[in-house]
Copies of this chain bind each other. A is one copy, B any other.
């Protein structure tokens, strides 16, 4: 009934170690035959013959039918994944940047070579959102999929909002805890959630969108004035990627901070937790919550993918097969709060409507409606110190 898996694993960090620990304790009809690692000198907790620094030790071994790819380098991961899939090996990966950047090609390769690439661990750690989009919402018209997809920036925002910590201190703490990278731009700049929302959009709407074509801005320019403003209005600020169907034939994708009120289920998602909000025509509002990062939560998603491969599981990309052609678009009016310093920025941005305007010596903001295309066209300006933009739901 289940196929025996012989696994080669690239990377043996926190996730790899956790995975090995749990696989050991279970009777899963699988064996990890080889780990390929970068640093041969690091002391390992397992017998030396299990390790190699040569990728061919996995890729060239015909006994290995399953590759688990858990390395940081997205380009190296991409090359390994393509080679493995083309040589008849199934692949489990948690590399969101690699998947998002090459998804269309990776799907084509799966179809051509009859192999399976699973990547639940790449999107919101332990939360089984890809599997649910594939299997459970495959016939649902989805109004939107959004949420909190990045544990590091959410951790920082929680500390800032609930414990009055300074942004810089909270970031440092997140780095110490291993939630944020040494270069935190991927997280706090909104790139990581952008990769994830591109992957989500493919399973939710059957479209391939390159991350480079999607607007993202993060929380790294968040200032004390913004926090004060949000608190006065009983908002929290969250970093929210959104995939949303509009006009029945288009899908918009973007990543923006958002002012979130108590009535939103995202309001209570704190610290390194993630939450995915699915609004569906028929199922109504659905919410998935769990740990978004960390060795064990991500490991659990990887393990579920490995276990599913024993039964020949593959994503069907069903929404791509539907006739209704949805197109990616940035032509979408959103309501924003914008703190700014230079009045010329407001001229440039070409708001459709400004409903509030505030001036003080140290704090100027507008609230108004603006087309996402305008925002995307002026990303460099908006991303400058002294400016902060957030969506108002």
Q: Are A288 and B291 in contact, with the CB atoms below 8 A?
A: no
A383 at the interface (CB under 8 A from B): no
Chain B residues whose C-beta falls within 8 Å of the C-beta of A139 in the assembled complex: 26, 28, 303-304, 307
List of B residues within 8 angstroms of A137 by Cβ: 304
The reply on A7 being an interface residue by CB < 8 A is: no
A40 on interface, CB distance cutoff 8 Å? no
Chain B residues in 8 Å Cβ range of A132: 128, 131-132
| CB < 8 Å neighbour of A284 from B131, B282, B291 | B291
Q: Give chain A interface residues in 232-287, CB to chain B under 8 Å.
A: 265, 268, 280-287
B289 touches A284 (CB 8 A): no
Binds B, one of A181-189, A294-302, A351-359: A294-302
Query: Which of these, B28, B265, B296, contacts A282 with CB under 8 Å?
Result: B296
Q: Are A283 and B300 in contact (CB under 8 A)?
A: yes
Any chain B CB within 8 A of the CB of A135?
yes
B282 touches A18 (CB 8 A): yes
Most chain B CB within 10 A, of A18, A131, A300, is at A300
How far does the alpha carbon of A79 sit from the alpha carbon of B14 in the complex, in Å?
Answer: 52
Is A126's CB within 8 Å of the partner chain B? Answer: yes
Contact of A135 among B22, B126, B127, B135 (CB under 8 A): B135
Measured between C-beta atoms, what is the minimum distance from A169 to chain B in Å?
24
- With A128-B136, A136-B128, A140-B300 known as contacts, the answer to whether A265 contacts B283 (CB < 8 A) is no
A287 touching B290, Cβ below 8 Å: yes
Considering the complex, give the chain B residue whose CB is closest to the CB of A137.
B304
Asked if A135 and B131 make an inter-chain contact with CB atoms under 8 angstroms apart, the answer reads yes
Given contacts A26-B139, A132-B128, A308-B135, are A300 and B288 in contact (CB under 8 A)?
A: no
Which size class do A's interface residues fall under? Answer: 35 or more
Query: For the complex, what is the distance from the CA of A127 to the CA of B294, rounded to whole Å?
Result: 25
Taken together as a complex, chains A and B put the C-alpha atoms of A304 and B278 apart, in Å, by 15
* Residue A45 interfacial (CB < 8 Å): no
A283 contacts B308, C-beta separation under 8 Å:
no
CB contacts (< 8 Å) of A281 on chain B: these are 22
Q: Are A304 and B265 in contact (CB under 8 A)?
A: no
CB closest residue in chain B, given A323 = B27
| Chain B nearest CB, measured from A123 CB (Å) | 13
A324 → chain B, closest Cβ, in Å?
9
B265 touches A289 (CB 8 A): yes
Q: Flag whether A381 is at the interface (Cβ < 8 A).
A: no
User: With a CB–CB cut-off of 8 A, which chain B residues contact A128?
Assistant: 132, 136
Flag if B308 contacts A296 (CB, 8 Å).
no
19 pairs, CB–CB < 8 Å, chain A vs chain B: A22-B281, A126-B280, A126-B286, A127-B286, A131-B136, A137-B304, A138-B304, A265-B268, A265-B289, A282-B297, A283-B290, A283-B296, A284-B290, A285-B289, A285-B290, A287-B288, A287-B290, A288-B288, A289-B289
**Told that A27-B322, A131-B132 touch, could you supply 12 new A-B pairs with CB distance under 8 A?**
A28-B139, A126-B286, A128-B132, A138-B307, A139-B303, A280-B300, A282-B299, A282-B303, A283-B290, A287-B289, A287-B290, A289-B289
